[in-house]
A and B are shown apart, each in its own frame.
Chain A
Amino acid sequence: MQYIGYFFLLIGAVFLALAGLGIYRMPDVLNQSQAGTKASTMGIVGLFVGFAFLKPLWAPKLILMALFFLFTSPIASHAICKAAIKRNKAKFILKENAFSKEGE
């Protein structure tokens, strides 16, 4: 039980570190948001699952928190991307942009 918990904690920590590395390495806002959202979601959920195995009494609360995070994190990234692409100040690295052709 304890070791399963430690295993999930390790997974969570590794993915959170990868999220940070991804934000550092990606060239523009959209790609950074990709790396940040995905890896940090997995990292947070992994951490919560790990804690749930270590402290079974906390499990219901942790599950609720993980669910809220799963629902809110894509919305946050969606808002950031939309704001960035509508403001259109920074240079985006895009090979093909259906939005500028059709949108607005």
Chain B
Amino acid sequence: MTNLLFIWVAMFLVWTALNAPLSAQKTIFGIILSFLIAVIANVYDKEQKKFKLKTFFYLIKYFLVFLKELVKANLNMARIVLTPYLPISPKIFKVTTSLKSPIARTLLANSITLTPGTISVELDGDTLYIHVVEGDKVENVEDLKGPFEKILREAFE
């Protein structure tokens, strides 16, 4: 039930964002539409996990850390591209993650792709294959996961 309410409210917020100045007509249609979406999503959701407020706060924290890493990654990439002799030494590393839930693993792979000099090539069970541009600079393979694994573990487990 809380899941349904949450999806309803979230979908209605998206609807509000897309139809910025709301009239009465749009509001009523949006409420009905987001309710239908919430019901359908609830029917197909097999796991029926409880939505926790803690997850939400950790996701906000995750997003802020993510933005910081994104800017760092771009400055790093700009430096590599603009250096005349192209200082690259590409390597593929294998890293295992201790995260269990599929969504946490997906988010981890995505955030690795957008952090400095790394890209996730393949995610197979709990094994991640990571491509690194400056492979010579990597000392500890576990560092490649950055601060994300800790935050995601607290958020989802």
Q: Which listed segment binds A: B25-33, B40-48, B50-58, B120-128? A: B120-128
**Is A99's CB within 8 Å of the partner chain B?**
yes
B110 touches A74 (CB 8 A): yes
Taking the closest CB of chain B, its distance from the CB of A15, in whole angstroms, is: 6
- Overall SS of chain A's interface: helix
**Count class of interface residues, chain A:** 35 or more
**Is A90's CB within 8 Å of the partner chain B?**
no
**Is B94's CB within 8 Å of the partner chain A?**
yes
Instruction: Name which residue of chain B comes closest to A96, CB basis.
Output: B91
Which residues of chain A (16-74) have a CB below 8 Å from chain B? 18, 21-22, 25-28, 30-31, 33-35, 37-39, 41-42, 45, 57-58, 60-61, 63-64, 70-71, 73-74
**Is A13's CB within 8 Å of the partner chain B?**
no
**Is B133's CB within 8 Å of the partner chain A?**
yes
Taking the closest CB of chain B, its distance from the CB of A89, in whole angstroms, is: 16
**Is B24's CB within 8 Å of the partner chain A?**
no
Set A30, A74, A77, A82: member contacting B90, Cβ < 8 A: A30
B129 contacts which chain A residues (CB < 8 A)? 98-99, 103
**Is B140's CB within 8 Å of the partner chain A?**
no
**Is A10's CB within 8 Å of the partner chain B?**
no
**Is A75's CB within 8 Å of the partner chain B?**
yes
A64 touches B17 (CB 8 A): yes
